[in-house]
Amino acid sequence: MKINIAVLVSGGGTNLQALIDSQNSGIIKSGEIKLVISNNPDAFALIRAKNANIDTLVCNKKELGDKFEDSLIKALEKNNIDIIVLAGFMCILSEKFTSHFANRIINVHPSLIPSFCGKGFYGLRVHEAALEYGVKVTGATVHFVNEIPDGGKIIMQKAVYINEDDTPESLQKRVMQEAEWKILPEALEKVCKELN
């Protein structure tokens, strides 16, 4: 039996696309993406999901306010979701939510944790910090999610070397292509297989 997966997104959905492609190519075989939820009704990720015939749902934090996480939990439970993947989901989840799904939420972060992670480190900011600091190696980390931003147990990491002429934008693109899009599907398959 396959593990039911939900992917939570906020934007373009490039990591979601990597997961869809990996499911289609057989890298992810122990689980199946059943639902894509976005906090942003205009997220292109929702179009990617619809193109792949995956059910979608919008939980708008601004509209739902205090009921946001309860609405998420309700939707996830209604769809019998076993594993949640945060793929560019721009909302910090509370301890109430993360403990409800303990060891069943994974996230991809665009650095080698514990470097350049935690509160305030997301998107281009992570790559700007890596370049400002002068590190020679960065990468991506897939980890379990707990109540501490980027604080959960590490599942998988992949290093990416920094080039002398890198900009935050070029580095972000390479980290996605060489690390995030490779280890996120592999880590998801690993977690699904262990749950099976």
The reported pLDDT for the residue numbered 62 is: 87
Could you tell me the pLDDT band of residue 92, with boundaries at 50, 70 and 90?
Answer: confident
Buried/exposed code over 56-81 (b: 16+ C-beta within 10 A; e: otherwise): bbebebeeeeeebbebbeebbeeeeb
134-169 pLDDT, tens digit each = 999 999 999 999 999 899 999 999 999 999 999 999
22-80 pLDDT, tens digit each = 999 999 999 999 999 999 999 999 999 999 999 999 999 889 989 999 999 999 999 99
Task: Please tell me the distance from the alpha carbon of residue 25 to that of residue 20, in angstroms, as a whole number.
Answer: 9
Side-chain-side CA neighbours of residue 142 (13 Å): 26
Instruction: Specify the number of domains making up the chain.
Output: 1
The reported pLDDT for the residue numbered 61 is: 87
* Confidence check: pLDDT of 101 > 90: yes
Supply the CATH number for residue 12's domain.
3.40.50.170
* Confidence check: pLDDT of 124 > 90: yes
The residue segments making up the domain with residue 9 are 3-195
| 109 included as an active-site residue | yes
- pLDDT, averaged across the chain: 96
Per annotation, catalytic residue among 100, 109, 127, 143: 109
